[in-house]
Amino acid sequence: MISTKLKSIILLFFCIFISHLESYAQQGEVAIHQDKSIEKLMRIKKELNKSDSERYKIQIYSGNRSDAYEAQKEFKDAFENWPSIIQYETPNFKIWAGNFRTRLEADRALKQIKGKFPAAFIFRPKK
């Protein structure tokens, strides 16, 4: 026969096991209340992100890192209106300028930029 002490230990482990299972068996509901304009804003943001990939940029430099930083500084000093970024595409550092909605807008900017950066050209970045 099983001793009383052993029965007590088994009963204790059984109780602990059951209480452990109950502690993870939680139920509940989550209700999300949001303003209807959030959906509209999300739609607009999605359209803007889509249109960003359809925009034009101008590459003004491609080469080594130190010359890229120098070219970017020259560009910023000469053309304050257009933002520029440095992109690294193995093995070159590239300076991309602007974010033009139309080809015509990019062409007009390119005319001005070519005076200082003759190798500049228009392109559409791939995402």
Q: Is the pLDDT of residue 70 over 80?
A: yes
Domains parsed from the chain with CATH numbers: 56-123 (3.30.70)
pLDDT of residue 4: 80
Q: Is the pLDDT of residue 27 over 90?
A: no
CA-nearest of 63, 120, 106 to 86 is 63
Q: Quote the pTM value.
A: 0.59
pLDDT of residue 91: 94
Q: Which of the pair, 69 or 4, is modelled with greater confidence?
A: 69
Of the ranges 18-32, 35-49, 74-88, 101-115, which one carries the lowest mean pLDDT score?
A: 18-32
pLDDT of residue 73: 96
Share of the chain above pLDDT 70, in %: 86
* Mean pLDDT across the chain: 86
Q: Is the pLDDT of residue 21 over 90?
A: no
The encoded tokens of residue 48 equal 């803007």
Cα–Cα distance for residue pair 97/83, rounded to 1 Å: 6
pLDDT of residue 2: 66
Q: Is the pLDDT of residue 20 over 80?
A: no
